[in-house]
Amino acid sequence: MTHVTGFDRDAISFGVTPTLWWNDDFLDLDAGIPFGQAVSEMALAGFEGCSVGHKYPTDTTVLTEELERRGLRVSEPWTSTYFTINAMHDKTVADFHESLAFIKAMKGTDLVVAELGRSSHQRPVALVPNRDVFDDNQWAALASGLNGLGKIAKDEGMRLCYHHHMGTGVQTRADVDRLMEMTDPDLVHLLLDTGHIYFAGDDPLSLAQAHADRISHVHLKNIRRPAMDEALERGYSFEEAIKHGVFTVPGDPAGAIDFVPILQVLADRGYRGWLVVEAEQDPNKANPLDHATTARRYLREVIGF
């Protein structure tokens, strides 16, 4: 097995999302696993942190206690932005301030955002044919809005990390390139999601090479290529694609993505931050603990810790 060299152990944190245990977009993707079991299994699998989900305690003191007793931290909260549709600027900013207060209370640094103005990913429609496409005015509104949120974050010692996402106006490599060109690199960082960019038809390694200096957060998501091809051919919705197994974790032999060269690009650029395993799956079909353990074992083997 090829190995990655050069990561600073003190600079890297390994996280996992609760989407292995349940889904926050599609609540029927649930096997009844409670919060306590999920976070205990995250720790048992060897992770140091996690993103948050709808089953988590909303009281930050209670959440801190529950995570600390398991040796976990919060990797990031998610904030949906709506800069590209009408009369949603102020609510977007207000929601971001709530996320900022939350991550400060949890002693984290990163805030993840994605523009969902007219996204297809949460709707029961064909994902790609109905994905959002911005006009020039919407691109300008998005860039301006993100720069504004990025300044709010930076002024508080935090980082805004933009998540390119299937079904949204920032889905493809060309979309990411345009967003990076239009936003301030000191204010808007990039979240690299390997699975989403592969699903979009682009190369995650090439994206990492092109924008390594902007990448401040990483979601390591794998793709089952036959399920992806079927989803695209048949016009599946995002939920249907998930249910048909399009996503899996690093280390799954059924996955199509080679993570070693991607991780090596990050190591060579001195990446510091979270490496977060993510795979929206049906927990009734894909045992969450088994997949979390597989992913963490794989990362330990290729990175060395």
The reply to whether 136 falls in a domain is yes
CATH, residue 167: 3.20.20.150
Residue 1 has pLDDT above 90, yes or no: no
The reply to whether 258 falls in a domain is yes
Predicted confidence band at 2 (pLDDT cuts at 50, 70, 90)?
confident
Q: How many domains does the chain have?
A: 1
Which pLDDT value is given to residue 156?
Answer: 97
Q: Domain range spanning residue 166?
A: 9-303
The reply to whether 1 falls in a domain is no
The reply to whether 66 falls in a domain is yes
pLDDT tens-digit profile of 203-255? Answer: 999 999 999 999 999 999 999 999 999 999 999 999 999 999 999 999 999 99
Given a contact cutoff of 8 angstroms between Cβ atoms, the answer to whether 225 and 245 are in contact is no
The reply to whether 50 falls in a domain is yes
Average pLDDT (31-35) is: 98
pLDDT tens-digit profile of 45-54? Answer: 999 999 999 9
Q: Which of 281, 203, 277 is nearest to 13 (CA)?
A: 277
The reply to whether 3 falls in a domain is no
The reply to whether 2 falls in a domain is no
Per-residue burial over 275-285, b if 16 or more Cβ lie within 10 Å, else e, is: bbbbbbbbbee
The reply to whether 132 falls in a domain is yes
pLDDT tens-digit profile of 85-143? Answer: 999 999 999 999 999 999 999 999 999 999 999 999 999 999 999 999 999 999 999 99
